Amino acid sequence: MRGRVLIVAGSDSGGGAGIQADIKAVTALGGFAMTAITALTAQNTLGVHGVVAIEPTFIALQMAVVLDDLGADCVKTGMLHDAAVISTVVDMLAAKAPSVPLVCDPVMIAKGGHPLLVESAVAALRQRLLPRAGLLTPNLPEAEVLLGRTIPDLPAMERAAEALRQLGPSAVLLKGGHGTGAEVVDVLADGAGIHHFRSPRIDSRHTHGTGCTLASAIAVGLAQGMPLIRAVATARDYVLEAIRRAPGFGAGHGPLDHGHTMCRPAG
């Protein structure tokens, strides 16, 4: 099974994050990507220069026609910029894909600092989307907003991951990339307890779209039938190599090499 992944997220015109990164990651890992675009952004490695929101009714139509015809083995959500969009997505999932696993990447702030979720929508995210999620994948700043407290160290990350799981997701992967130190530690809280994923920190400015890419890479693993821990480990390996092989484009936070799995030796 290739693994069908429906991605509900915003578009990044620079190709490093959002829908573009999601499609690249799913394809590079052997899955089949489908999309429902929630917003258009004028974006490059230096930041977000403009956003055009898509009407919720059209987001719903994109989801409906894809799910009715093609189906999905996993759904991944990214940028859902306001409460109306969040409610629309949750309602469509309930109507068209009630048993399909959902990976929720709670996109709140772009790499350059531009807000991608209006403040009034945080409550809708907590109350409506999180209880539907099979896996929530916040970074440290996003988790701090969702919980209303700072997360200064690894023990605090463990407590935060469990606290976020109490909001409804079946599992939470709290990412440590915004932390400090020579090692990045991600914390997974699921029904079996706490799991740590460790890797050396790569000193690079080319990390645009890492969150989108990781969530989509996990989603395709789940769509292909992997257990959650294996899907997370495989996705992390993919993203780390994509950072190592980053092409160096742009003057700011550059994109990853999403296609490194498809490279073939010459000759």
- Domain assignment of residue 239, yes or no: yes
Q: Which two tokens stand for residue 177?
A: 């990339």
Confidence of residue 180 (pLDDT cuts 50, 70, 90): confident
**What gap in Å lies between CA 48 and CA 61, rounded to an integer?**
26
For residue 160, the enclosing domain spans: 4-261
Please give the tally of structural domains in the chain.
1
Task: Specify whether the CB–CB gap between 76 and 215 falls below 8 A.
Answer: yes
Residue pLDDT, tens place only, 51-97: 999 999 999 999 999 999 999 999 999 999 899 999 999 999 999 99
Confidence of residue 178 (pLDDT cuts 50, 70, 90): confident
Q: Which CATH number belongs to the domain containing residue 40 in this structure?
A: 3.40.1190.20
Catalytic center residues: 175, 207, 209-212
Q: Which secondary-structure segment (H or E) carries 12?
A: strand 4-12
Q: Which residue, 185, 194, 202, is CA-closest to 165?
A: 194
- Domain assignment of residue 197, yes or no: yes
- Domain assignment of residue 13, yes or no: yes
- Domain assignment of residue 43, yes or no: yes
Q: Which residue has the tokens 């092989």?
A: 245
Answer whether 0.85 is exceeded by the pTM: yes
Q: Which residue has the tokens 């993919």?
A: 238
- Domain assignment of residue 267, yes or no: no
- Domain assignment of residue 266, yes or no: no
- Domain assignment of residue 51, yes or no: yes
- Domain assignment of residue 212, yes or no: yes
